[in-house]
Amino acid sequence: MKYFVFDWGGTSVKYALWDEETLSDHGAFKTPKTWENMKLEMLERVKPYQDKVAGIAISSPGSVDIQRGIIGGLSAIDYIHNFEIVEEMETLFGLPVSIENDANCAALAESWRGVAKDLKNILFVVIGTGIGGAVIVDGSLQRGSQRFAGEFGCMVFDGVNTWSMAGTAVHMAERYCVRKGLEKDAVSGEEVFNRADHDPIASEEVNNFYDSLALGLYNLQFTLDPDCIVLGGGVSKYSELIPELNRRIKNLLKAAQLENLNINLKACAYHNDANLIGAVASHLSQEGGSKS
Residues 161, 278: one domain?
Answer: no
| Residue 127 and residue 248 in one domain | yes
Task: Report if residue 159 sits inside a domain.
Answer: yes
Q: How many domains does the chain have?
A: 2
Residues 120 and 161 in one domain: yes
Regarding whether 131 and 77 lie in a shared domain, the answer is no
User: What pLDDT is recorded for position 289?
Assistant: 54
Which one has a higher pLDDT value, 158 or 63?
63
Residue 19: pLDDT over 80: yes
SS (H, E, C) the chain: CEEEEEEECCCEEEEEEEECCEEEEEEEEECCCCHHHHHHHHHHHHHHHCCCCCCEEEEECCEEECCCCEEECCCCCHHHCCCCHHHHHHHHHCCCEEEEEHHHHHHHHHHHHCCCCCCCCEEEEEECCCEEEEEEECCEEECCCCCCCCCHHHCECCCCCEHHHHCCHHHHHHHHHHHCCCCCCCCCHHHHHHHCCCCHHHHHHHHHHHHHHHHHHHHHHHHHCCCEEEEECHHHHCCCHHHHHHHHHHHHHHHCCCCCCCCCEEECCCCCCHHHHHHHHHHHHHCCCCCC
Please say if the pLDDT value at position 105 is more than 70. Answer: yes
pLDDT tens for residues 160-200?
889 999 999 999 999 999 999 999 989 999 999 999 999 99
Mean pLDDT rounded to a whole number for the chain: 94
pLDDT greater than 60 at residue 98:
yes
175 and 63 fall within a common domain: no
44 inside domain: yes
Q: Per residue in 26-69, pLDDT tens?
A: 999 999 999 999 999 999 999 999 999 999 999 999 999 999 99
Structural domain boundaries enclosing 194:
115-267
pTM value is 0.87
Determine the average pLDDT of the residues in 283-292: 75
